[in-house]
Amino acid sequence: MSLATEHIAFNIEKIRKDFPILKREINGYPLVYLDNAATSQTPQQVIDVIVDYYSNYNANIHRGVHSLSQEATEKYEQARISLQKHFNAKKPYEIIFTSGTTHGINLIASGFASILKEGDEILVSALEHHSNIVPWQMLCEKTGAVLKVIPMNEDGSLIYSAFEEMISEKTKIVFLNHVSNALGTINPIKDIIEKAHSHGAAVLIDGAQAAPHIKADVQALDVDFYVVSAHKMCGPTGVGILYGKEEWLKKLPPYQGGGEMIASVSFEKTTYADLPHKFEAGTPNICGGIAFGAAVDYMNSIGFEKIAAYEQELLEYATAKLLEIEGMKIYGNSKEKTAVISFNIAGLHPYDIGTLLDKMGIAVRTGHHCAQPIMDFYKIPGTVRASFSFYNTREEIDRFIEGVKKAKMMLS
């Protein structure tokens, strides 16, 4: 541990003990898990909550008179409040449980079908994940709205002046990620939200990649919609939230019809339930929602500022070491970035590097990272991506660097 690490009082030994999977061996080596941007690992505290749910109070929520149902409902609603506090939403019912980021984006895109007219414009950034591009393309096909793309610089940052030129009274919604999953770029969302609002446009922020590193305050940002997935922030897969401003959630039509989302149903007329139930049709991922609350509590118990400072240190350390390797090219060097390194080595295929690293017990991602437009921009098929979390160590980075060097030697 470096002096600087001690300085921020980050007890990495203790933290690592919370994650049982970190004890695993892969291909005869202790696991070095550097694929955190795809999914994060789960601490024992969250695993315990999942086991407790199915062992002790598994029941359907919101409509049971019996004790177990009431207990499950109470825990589920407590989790909603944990999430409300974490993201600083004004009201608990502005937090809608979803199956994840993709679901949240589709819910909003589908709702905007009733708002957009032909010739309206939607602005999207060049840095998006496929899940933040395709639903809007579908919406444009349905409504005749036009999709415009805010271009990016070579360093992986957005060209802000281009955004300023593109936004107009025709723009109805702007959507972009808070942090790019492929490059780690942190986008200037506060400025973008302010500017968009001055033209009357709504803003949806994809926070999937930011949420594990940055505590977003939705009221301070004045954002209209913010979506995340639990599995990128120490929670389980298949659950996430959509934050929406009350006015917007009241205005948008329901996404899915079903149980739980209605006030009354007859064949003549059905009226919808109040928020948040209007957007939560069917039996939700009850255990997942409760575990998501526990995950956010766990991360807050460590502290997001400490997490971000520690991860920045890992990022700087790993970047400097990687750049010592001949033929190394790192994509995305924006001043503001999270601990993600996307790279290639001249003449080598990212897939081959990833495969050899796996043989040494090191998990990285290779490919286009669901962001093909970014790869097209750099005119490459893909990259190797190492993404760090607060439970990674310098020793692991040393092993990763040695691994890359060895892979390079074997392949060239």
Ligand X SMILES: *Cc1c(COP(=O)(O)O)cnc(C)c1O
Q: Which residues are catalytic?
A: 370
- By the rule CB under 6 A, 36 interacts with ligand X: no
Q: Tell me how many degrees the CA angle 74-79-85 measures, rounded to the nearest 5.
A: 125
Least separation in angstroms between CB 57 and ligand X: 26
Alpha-helix residue ranges (DSSP H) falling in 182-273: 189-198, 218-221, 246-251
For the residues of 21-70, what is the DSSP string, one character each? GGG-EETTEE-EE-BTTT-----HHHHHHHHHIIIII----SS--SHHHH
Minimum CB distance to ligand X smaller for 38 or for 59: 38
Least separation in angstroms between CB 118 and ligand X: 28
- By the rule CB under 6 A, 229 interacts with ligand X: yes
Structure tokens at 88: 């600083």
Least separation in angstroms between CB 159 and ligand X: 19
Site for ligand X in 231-250 (CB under 6 A): 232
Minimum CB distance to ligand X smaller for 183 or for 353: 183
Chosen residue from 36, 42, 73, 132 binding ligand X by CB under 6 A: 132
Q: Tell me how many degrees the CA angle 409-410-412 measures, rounded to the nearest 5.
A: 65
Structure tokens at 240: 């996430």
Minimum CB distance to ligand X smaller for 80 or for 369: 369
Beta strands 225-229 and 202-206, pairing class = parallel
Least separation in angstroms between CB 181 and ligand X: 3
Residue 151 corresponds to which amino acid?
A: P
Least separation in angstroms between CB 55 and ligand X: 27
Chosen residue from 41, 42, 209, 387 binding ligand X by CB under 6 A: 209
Minimum CB distance to ligand X smaller for 102 or for 171: 102
Cα–Cα nearest to 337, from 76, 143, 158, 103? 158
Q: Are 130 and 173 in contact (CB under 8 A)?
A: no
Structure tokens at 294: 């526990």
Least separation in angstroms between CB 320 and ligand X: 25
- Give the count of beta carbons closer than 10 Å to the beta carbon of residue 316: 12
Minimum CB distance to ligand X smaller for 132 or for 285: 132
Q: Give the separation between CA 372 and CA 114, rounded to whole angstroms.
A: 29
Stretch that binds ligand X, among 125-133, 197-205, 241-249, 267-275 (CB under 6 A): 125-133
Minimum CB distance to ligand X smaller for 18 or for 206: 206
Angle between helix 286-302 and 67-87 (nearest 10): 40
- By the rule CB under 6 A, 206 interacts with ligand X: yes
Structure tokens at 56: 């002790």
Cα–Cα nearest to 358, from 17, 16, 35? 35
- By the rule CB under 6 A, 195 interacts with ligand X: no
Least separation in angstroms between CB 161 and ligand X: 24
- By the rule CB under 6 A, 387 interacts with ligand X: no
- By the rule CB under 6 A, 125 interacts with ligand X: no
Binding mask 93-122 for ligand X (x = CB under 6 A): -------xxx--------------------
Binding mask 164-193 for ligand X (x = CB under 6 A): -------------x---x------------
Q: In what order do the strands lie in the sheet with 383-387?
A: 328-331, 340-345, 383-387, 365-367
Minimum CB distance to ligand X smaller for 100 or for 403: 100
Phi, psi for residue 103 in degrees, rounded to 5: -60, -45
Chosen residue from 62, 129, 213, 277 binding ligand X by CB under 6 A: 129
- By the rule CB under 6 A, 208 interacts with ligand X: yes
Report in angstroms the alpha-carbon separations of 65 from 55, 193, 276, 290, 297.
20, 44, 20, 20, 29
Binding mask 357-376 for ligand X (x = CB under 6 A): --------------------
Minimum CB distance to ligand X smaller for 183 or for 345: 183
Least separation in angstroms between CB 100 and ligand X: 3
**Which residues of this chain interact with ligand X, rule CB under 6 A?**
100-102, 129, 131-132, 177, 181, 206, 208-209, 229, 232
